[in-house]
Amino acid sequence: VTPNDMLTRVDTLETPVPIVDLAVVEHNLAKMQGYADAHGLRLRPHIKTHKLPMFAQRQLALGAVGITCQKLGEAEVMADAGLDDILISFPLIGPIKAARLAALARRVAHLRVVADSVAGLDTVAQAAREAGRDIGVLIEFDSGNRRTGVTSVAEALELAEAARARGLRCDGLMTYPAGPEAAAFIAGVKAGAKAGGEFAIISAGGTPNAWRMHEIPGITEMRVGTYIYNDRTMVGFGGASLDECALHVHATVVSRPTATRGIIDAGSKTLSSDQLPPGLGVGYGLLLEYPDAIIERVNEEHGMLDLSACARRPEIGERVRIVPNHVCVVTNLHDEIVLARGGVVDAIVSVAARGRTR
């Protein structure tokens, strides 16, 4: 037992600082794995939220079948830590990506990449050839989000054919998030598929709608990331409660120029300038101690508080805890993150896969 006076309380740390409550993390991980297990869905967490090998390993220990990474650089960090079942959920295009993917394939036992074009398939095929390894492909389709992904069943089937022609294994379909068109699209592709083992994996992503994924016929795998920490957007969508938000940014009120205005030392460099989706609320984060305050504007280092609606108002030097709008971008802004239990620092860890834009 560590004597009490050796413990560092999180509320004594210099601000601004992102602090993760490990008990909440453990609750969130167990809850999602429980949901996946209850509905016979395979869980393949997206590491973009935590960017930490230790949490990826914890997710596997709880029952996850592997991980999802958005970028090669993230996958490389995870491979360095021994993760050996990885889906890269962003299209890779061109010879530089092919060479990196080949190097990754040599050391990751189970590697898959999404593609929504022939150019994407060519990149994966080149990497597989270079590495002398199998790399599975998931065809990405658009189920209503208007981002990447083919927009018709015919295109998906053509790409599966093109994959086959390139000696690639077409393992399935992938979409983000699981929008209204998902079920019909999946059924259409299944009906049109030729080979027996093709399209065995139907992968859908997104934490907000995670708890209803079992309602979409055909989905076999969930890619979810935000659920480990949750955030104000997730609470707004009803996918998490405020108590399930594991990451708080601790900040300090540094200025009170007028009766209704306050400034905190957390701006867009700490919270990002991500706003809430339309209809979910205003401001750049929720102040737990002053829920009626609005972070109405952020500059890089300044967060401007509108305190008009607050009965009680914070003084200069006072600390506040902020639930960010979008937690994935917050972890990407910080070199280190504090892990805590019961308000006491457990560890300060480097966010290993932070800043991996490539």
List residues near a second copy by CB under 8 A: 14-17, 48, 70-71, 90-94, 96-97, 100, 116-117, 119-120, 142, 146-151, 252-258, 261, 263, 265, 268-270, 272-275, 299-302, 304, 316-317, 328-329, 332-335, 355, 357-358
- Vertex 206: Cα angle to 122 and 25 (nearest 5): 120
Least spacing, CB of residue 54 vs a second copy, in Å: 21
As measured in angstroms, the least distance from the Cβ of 255 to a second copy is 4
Cβ at position 134, least distance to a second copy in Å: 23
Q: Which is nearer to a second copy, 101 or 131 (CB)?
A: 101
Cis peptide before 277 (omega within 30 of 0): no
Is the CB of 94 or the CB of 217 nearer to a second copy?
94
In angstroms, what CA-CA distances link 58 with 5, 24, 49, 54, 273?
30, 14, 14, 6, 30
Three-class SS of residue 169?
strand
Among 344, 351, 346, 358, smallest CA distance to 328 is for: 351
**Is the Cβ of residue 113 or residue 246 nearer to a second copy in the bound state?**
113
Q: Tokens in use for 169? A: 């294994």
Q: Which is nearer to a second copy, 41 or 340 (CB)?
A: 340
Nearer to a second copy, 120 or 239 (CB): 120
* Continuous segment of H or E residues that includes residue 174: strand 169-175
Please state, in angstroms and rounded to a whole number, the distance separating the CA atoms of residues 305 and 289.
13
Which is nearer to a second copy, 36 or 251 (by Cβ)?
251
From the CB of 61, what's the least distance to a second copy, in Å?
26
Nearer to a second copy, 329 or 345 (CB): 329
Longest dimension (CA), the chain: 70
Give me the long-range contacts of 181-186 (CB less than 8 A, separation at least 24): 181/142, 181/143, 181/144, 182/143, 182/144, 182/216, 182/218, 182/219, 183/216, 183/217, 183/218, 185/141, 185/143, 185/153, 185/156, 186/216, 186/217, 186/218, 186/219
